Structure 1
Amino acid sequence: MKNIIAVTGATGTQGGAAARALLATGWRVRALVRDPRSANARALAEAGAEVVRADMDDRASLDAALRGVYGVFSVQPTMGYPGTPPDFTIEDELRLGRNVAEAAVNARIEHFVYASVSAADADHGIRRWQSKAELEAYARRLGLPTTVLRPVRFMENQVDPRFGTRDGAMADVVFPDVPVQLIAGTDIGAFAALAFTDPAQYVGETLELAGDELTMTEIAQIMERALGQPITYRAIPREALLDKGHDALAGYEFANYGGGWHADIPALRERHPGLMTFATWLEHEGAEKYAAAQ
């Protein structure tokens, strides 16, 4: 049983990537899902994962799902993001994250890898990022042997219509000439597998994860070349965010005036030589995802 990793959010971007990377490196994966009949859950089962029905809001189901596992990959939904229920709150995220951490303690797991967000503990005032810093601290207070992975903006967001990219047009709050760091979901999974495989190096670490740094203008140009079609970029003005809530305005300030993210990409590539640039990701995965999403 000591080679089993339980993966929460296993049908999502990060959990799914972690599950696939762990399977590829020889780990057994127990994929925790709410609906084992979903297409993503069935795909994980076909890839070799043990798919188990579990709900992060149900401690009894978590306790049963984590029984006998070596490690846990923990990721929760984020308030306000596409795919998260519209009534989902920060308190919901905190409750789910605490439930997973407490269940991991109860199961006496040996390694807890938590998927946070880059700059979670910085002075930006973005509440739905600060919640992740709270969950990082909670896992440590419980005494869990923890690795924290802090990814920046997902490359997947750049081809997802729900994030403002549709029919050759891309919109975001970032000024056209401000650098933005990006990470592929696949590479988040790769770092999760590295952490579980080498606990002596990774337990106790907090890693800011990025694979590329580009301006929005450069992102549009790279997409044009990869997709073979014009891509235009429009910066969303601050005035358009005034009715979108505190986090939207705080995110605008962080991206454009707060310095943004600062993951050490060369150092990360030394640990994981296959770390993808945005152009590489488009070639391997992104162009296909873009075509499927349009």
Structure 2
Amino acid sequence: MTDDLETARSTRLAFVTGATGLLGNNLVRELIADGWRVRALVRSPDKARRQFAGLDVEMAHGDMLDVSGFASALAGVDTVFHTAAYFRDSYKGGRHWDALYAANVEGTRHLLDHTYQAGVRRFVHTSSIAVLHGARGAVIDETMLRDESDADDYYRSKILSDRVVLSFLETHPDFWAAMVLPGWMHGPGDIGPTSAGQTVIDVALKRLPGVPPGSFSVVDARDVARAMILANDKGRRGERYLAAGRHMTMSDLLPLVAEASDVPPPRRRIPLWLMHLLAAGYEVYARLTGRPVLLSWAMARTVATEDDRSRYDHTKSERELGLRFRPLSETLRDEMAWFRANGVIPA
């Protein structure tokens, strides 16, 4: 019986959206390590070849804005792991609601429809801590849902995409889905880079002018990937599972990043009023030129409103899934090593 179970697991086929992203590429690697076959949705074949050199990964070329264009690649899949999302550009100045809604809400809706039409009945959705909310200093769990009125455009898009998943479950009783809620992800393979990776790069290259305000829940992308696999194997239908990591202020995090980078940490504090002032100037520039900026008004607002709202209770994920988190020192060491190995930071 054990041999039959292992054989069944080794022949399982996963479809991973957003496969070249920080979470997606680590999920691909974790799945392969567990014996899955992987079909990866990629927008850039060149980036995918660089990201997955030496790995046995089947590539499917496509974009979440046109799910029908890659729907045929869903045939024969056992589980769809949906990690793709429009995120990074939404914090680079200007308004991005149309793009957020098209990719994160309508894209998820179309993906669910085509997944079902292809005969696939399992779906693990990457949600976000953005859908949760609590008082400052409170410990937040999966039941503490954020109201749309207290959400910026990105947060709202994630709230609505979760609702799409839950609504689909209501109308398709033979379909199974669960949701994993990551925090601020760090780790190797950040080819983007994400805002987390860019922070590490800026510290390592001594480009960060000071320590900004705010707190975050910091997590290794590999631990989030493991949470998604565990959710598929052990999770309950329609449930949310936190994989947010640990609460940290930027004052806590940046010295650890500097230590991993072997550089002096930034020490000057950037007050919130100055952050808002800089963001306002950048926002005007973004709207006049259409170019992305390092600090948008949306980012400054998020830092201000979410400060000290980054303590999350992982009891449910630990109890039901067996999820564990690795030491942050390991995450930062491996993230730094990857940036150095890929020439982003000088060795």
* TM-score, L = length of structure 2: 0.71
Shift of the alpha carbon at 1:182? Answer: 0.5
Q: Which moved more, 1:179-188 or 1:247-256?
A: 247-256
Confirm whether residue 194 of structure 1 aligns to residue 220 of structure 2. Answer: no
Confirm whether residue 145 of structure 1 aligns to residue 176 of structure 2. Answer: yes
8 Å CA contact 2:246, 2:311 repeated in 1: no
Report the Cα distance in structure 2 between the residues aligned to 1:276 and 1:122, rounded to whole angstroms: 28
Unaligned runs of 5+ residues in structure 2 are 1-7, 132-144, 170-174, 188-194, 284-295
Q: How does 1:1-294 map to 2 (within 5 A)?
A: 3-36=12-45, 38-41=46-49, 43-44=51-52, 46-74=54-82, 75-78=84-87, 80-81=89-90, 89-93=99-103, 94-120=105-131, 121-123=145-147, 124-143=150-169, 144-156=175-187, 157-160=195-198, 165=203, 167-170=205-208, 174-175=212-213, 179-198=215-234, 201-232=235-266, 234-235=269-270, 237-242=275-280, 244=283, 247-256=298-307, 259-265=308-314, 268=317, 271-273=322-324, 275-283=325-333, 285-291=334-340, 292-294=343-345
Shift of the alpha carbon at 1:92? Answer: 2.4
Amino acid at match of 1:5: A
- Inter-CA distance 106–79: structure 2 relative to 1 (3 Å threshold): farther
Amino acid at match of 1:52: A
What's the RMSD between the two structures over aligned residues? 3.0
- Inter-CA distance 64–134: structure 2 relative to 1 (3 Å threshold): same
- Inter-CA distance 119–60: structure 2 relative to 1 (3 Å threshold): closer
Amino acid at match of 2:74: L
**Identical columns (%):** 20
* TM-score, L = length of structure 1: 0.83
- What SS is found at the alignment partner of 2:311? coil
8 Å CA contact 2:78, 2:122 repeated in 1: yes
- Aligned residue pairs total 283
How big is each residue's C-alpha offset from its partner over 1:221-262, in whole Å with a ceiling of 9 and x where there is no partner? 212322221021553622222353663353133223xx4223
Report the Cα distance in structure 1 between the residues aligned to 2:254 and 2:339, rounded to whole angstroms: 13
Which aligned runs of 4 or more in structure 1 are off by greater than 6 angstroms?
none
8 Å CA contact 2:256, 2:329 repeated in 1: yes
Report the Cα distance in structure 1 between the residues aligned to 2:338 and 2:209, rounded to whole angstroms: 18
Amino acid at match of 2:178: T
Amino acid at match of 1:71: T
Report the Cα distance in structure 1 between the residues aligned to 2:56 and 2:122, rounded to whole angstroms: 22
8 Å CA contact 2:86, 2:99 repeated in 1: no
Report the Cα distance in structure 2 between the residues aligned to 1:56 and 1:41, rounded to whole angstroms: 20
- Inter-CA distance 62–28: structure 2 relative to 1 (3 Å threshold): same
- What SS is found at the alignment partner of 1:32? strand
8 Å CA contact 1:114, 1:149 repeated in 2: yes
- What SS is found at the alignment partner of 1:55? coil
Shift of the alpha carbon at 1:281? Answer: 0.6
- What SS is found at the alignment partner of 1:77? coil
Amino acid at match of 2:219: I
- Max radius of gyration: which structure? 2
Report the Cα distance in structure 2 between the residues aligned to 1:290 and 1:32, rounded to whole angstroms: 24
Unaligned runs of 5+ residues in structure 1 are none
